[in-house]
Each structure stands twice: as structure tokens, then as C-alpha cells.
Amino acid sequence: MKCPYCNKIETKVLESRICESDRTIRRRRECNECSKRFTTYERTELECVYVIKKDKRREEFSREKLMKGIIKACEKRPVSQDKIERNVDEIEAKLRAKGKTEIKSREIGRRVMEKLRQLDEVAYVRFASVYKKFKDINQFAEEIKILKKEGKT
């Protein structure tokens, strides 16, 4: 593994740990040359899954894009990176467990909203405002009213 600091190839693994998803191994490494430490993640490469967008375009599923969307919704909220990663792992696992090579974007959005609803209500409303394309404050108020009715706030 190449060191991200000095670009030397010789590094040693200090610690390996299986992540919650059981499909990712986290490795703590140290460069033999500059002695700096860094973390790598090893994931099983799975069959390519395509996302069918609302306008019928096809796009390769991106775990990173999913992660960025959830991180953005949780920005400045008391949600740990571990919880975000765990939720991304769970969403991705459920999508891949279907065994399909194509998934509609609205299914991904629905799953993200379910997870965010449990994780953090403000993050949920943020994501919902983009996903559902809120046009005015009344739509925010309606979504909050639904949350309150369900006993979430």
C-alpha cells in the first residue's frame, strides 16, 4: 500500500478490524519510510449496480455519493461518522441483497429518509426538503407536523 504522505510503497499493518457491515476491513498502517500512520479500508468489489434516475438516465451506483448526501443532511448535527457509515452500509447491503443490477433512485431516497428519520429529525427534514423538492415553508411545516403526529419530536 502506497503511503499518502511520502508515496513509498513499503508500509506495515498495525491493526486490522472487521467493520460492522462484515464486508469491510479497516486497516491501520504505518509507513516504513516516514513513520506516518494512516487508515485504509478494504471492501469486497461487488457486481455493478446502476441507478435509474427520474429522467430515465442510468448512472453507476456510488457509495461515495450516498455517503456525501447523508453527511450533508447531518452537517452540524450530533451524528457521529460511525453512525453515518453504519447507515450507509445498511442501505447499500439492502439494495445489493435484492440481487438486481438496476435500482430506481426513488428507492434509494426512500431508504435514506427511513434511516435519517430514526437517526436525526433535523437531518431527515433537510434531506426531505431536497428529495421531495419543497417549494415553500408550508411544506416544511407539513413534514414537521407529520413527525410530531408520529411522536418523533
Given this model, what pLDDT does residue 151 score? 72
Q: Per-residue pLDDT tens for 86-130? A: 999 999 989 888 888 999 999 999 999 999 999 999 999 999 888
Is the same domain home to 79 and 24? no
Residues spanned by the domain of 1: 1-44
Q: Give every CB contact of residue 73 below 8 A, 6+ residues apart in sequence.
A: 116, 123, 124, 126, 127
Is the same domain home to 36 and 83? no
pTM (two decimals): 0.66
Given this model, what pLDDT does residue 61 score? 93
Is the same domain home to 135 and 84? yes
Given this model, what pLDDT does residue 58 score? 95
**Number of domains within the chain:** 2
Collapsing DSSP to helix, strand or coil, 98 comes out as coil
Average pLDDT, the chain: 89
